[in-house]
Homo-oligomer: A and B are copies of this chain.
Amino acid sequence: MEAKEISQAVIGRLPRYFRYLGELKDEGVERISSHELSERMHVTASQIRQDFNNFGGFGQQGYGYNVEYLYHEIGRILGLDKEHNFVIIGAGNLGRALGNYLNFERRGFVFRGIFDVDEGLIGQEVRGVRIRSMEELEEFVREEEIDIAVLTVPKLSAEGIVDKLVKNGIRAILNFAHVDLNVPEGVQVENVHLSDSLMKLSYNISRYIRENEP
């Protein structure tokens, strides 16, 4: 049952299902109804059924879902049955934090390289991975079959780096630079714009105060 034309909104919810099913599995739960799952996840049961129907429904509703099966199927749909090699560009605090983030490895994302322009950082290690000079980036991405680049560089350097990554076959970019990247079709981008998240919080604080504390 392959997924075509499934909306990014549905895709965006799959990791959360995957996370909850992983927790249920760890707790030893074997079957769960869409109703129970909906209570646990604070979404409607009908949303869950609709989302799952995009992938063929994953089994009979009357008996509930088989947790182990569902966990593995969603993992497979997410492409987590394959390993993905990633590099981090920028070895500042954020880059180093991400290099040390063990959760990625557990999902099959393998930390392979980290790059910086700062001579003072080059040669140091992040979780056993040596910080390399930016001059080595292109060859490394090409030769080591890197799929994903995590971009933690200033806005102004981002564009030039993205061109190099794309030219050397990168498939996806997790972008922390506060700029929208220009990439060709076929290169996937997820933006993590932290200032935007703070602004959204700021809006919702103001709205709540306006509506509830006049």
The chain A residues found within 8 Å of chain B, CB to CB, are 2-4, 8, 11-12, 14-16, 18-19, 41-42, 77-80, 82, 84, 86, 92-94, 96-98, 100-101, 103-104, 107-109, 147-148, 171-174, 178, 180, 186, 188, 190, 192-208, 210-212
The 9 closest A-B pairs by CB, nearest first: A93-B97, A79-B206, A15-B196, A94-B97, A79-B202, A172-B201, A15-B199, A188-B204, A190-B197
Closest B residue, CB atoms, query A190: B197
Q: Which of B100, B101, B193, B203 contacts A194 (CB 8 A)?
A: B101
Closest B residue, CB atoms, query A209: B171
Closest B residue, CB atoms, query A193: B15
A148–B148 Cα gap in the complex (Å)?
32
Q: Taking the full assembly, how many copies of this chain does it contain?
A: 2
What are 28 pairs between A and B in contact, CB < 8 Å?
A2-B210, A3-B207, A4-B211, A11-B204, A12-B196, A15-B193, A19-B195, A77-B203, A78-B200, A78-B206, A80-B199, A82-B206, A84-B202, A84-B205, A93-B93, A97-B97, A98-B194, A103-B195, A104-B194, A104-B198, A107-B199, A147-B205, A148-B201, A172-B204, A172-B205, A173-B201, A188-B201, A188-B208
